[in-house]
């Protein structure tokens, strides 16, 4: 039985994402898979729960010390034709790149960025990293206004987030070349 190239790329990416998450250091980012993992059978998570332990303002005008975001990597086109879906499971962060329904605008990511790298990028939202705020691509205007009005008091907590270098590794940077083998069933 043959595996489609798209399915192969997707399953290999899920594997490298899982491997990258194993290297993601705490204490500000905690995670767990929400779908089965069986490394021996090459089954890797398609959904993750991430807990960001960073004090930050929320959309319901409170301040929380923990924020739960679910990442969904189940789209077969991920990572080439589909971005991961990230959505808050708790009251969401009041940030310009978070939609009013709690979805996170991850932005234009390079398909070679691992899930751990994407997670660190989202963690940067909690500390209002100005490098990550794109004024030309705002998800929620009122959250952008909040950010601009409160720039002097944000972030609410200074944290040292892990760097990309700590979680990057050769497996997460692999690229996949899909080639047609044989005559593709044509005579």
Instruction: Give the pLDDT confidence of 64-117 residue by residue, as tens digits.
Output: 999 999 999 999 888 877 788 999 998 899 999 999 999 999 876 777 889 999
Q: Strands 67-72 and 85-88, how do they pair? A: antiparallel
Residue with tokens 């044989």: 182
pLDDT at 6: 79
For residue 110, what is the domain's CATH number? 3.10.110.10
* Alpha carbon 159 to its chain's center: 19
Question: What is the model's pTM?
Answer: 0.84
pLDDT at 72: 96
Domain enclosing residue 63, as ranges: 5-171
CB hemisphere CA count around 134 (13 angstroms): 11
Tally of domains in the chain: 1
In a domain, 74, yes or no: yes
Residue with tokens 């979805």: 103
Residue whose C-alpha is closest to residue 17's, from 52, 45, 37, 38 = 45
CB of 49 closer than 8 Å to CB of 68: yes
In a domain, 182, yes or no: no
Residue whose C-alpha is closest to residue 104's, from 155, 66, 70 = 70
Average pLDDT for the chain: 85
Q: Give the separation between CA 4 and CA 67, rounded to whole angstroms.
A: 37
Helix (H, G, I), strand (E, B) or coil at 138: coil
In a domain, 178, yes or no: no
In a domain, 10, yes or no: yes
In a domain, 176, yes or no: no
């Amino acid at each position: 039985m043959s595996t489609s190239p798209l399915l192969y790329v997707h399953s290999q990416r899920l594997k490298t994402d899982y491997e990258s998450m194993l290297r993601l250091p705490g204490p500000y980012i905690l995670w767990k898979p929400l779908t089965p993992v069986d490394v021996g059978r090459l089954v890797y998570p398609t959904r993750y729960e991430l807990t960001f332990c960073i004090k930050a303002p929320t959309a319901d005008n409170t301040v929380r010390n923990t924020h739960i975001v679910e990442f969904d990597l189940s789209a077969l086109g991920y990572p080439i034709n589909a971005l991961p879906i990230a959505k808050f499971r708790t009251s969401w962060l009041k940030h310009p790149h978070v939609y009013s329904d709690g979805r996170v605008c991850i932005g234009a990511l390079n398909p070679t960025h691992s899930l751990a790298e994407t997670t660190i990028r989202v963690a940067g939202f909690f500390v209002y990293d100005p490098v990550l705020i794109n004024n030309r691509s705002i998800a929620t205007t009122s959250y952008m206004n909040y950010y601009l009005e409160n720039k002097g008091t944000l972030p609410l907590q200074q944290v040292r987030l892990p760097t990309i270098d700590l979680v990057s590794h050769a497996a997460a940077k692999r690229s996949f070349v899909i080639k047609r083998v044989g005559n593709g069933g044509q005579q």
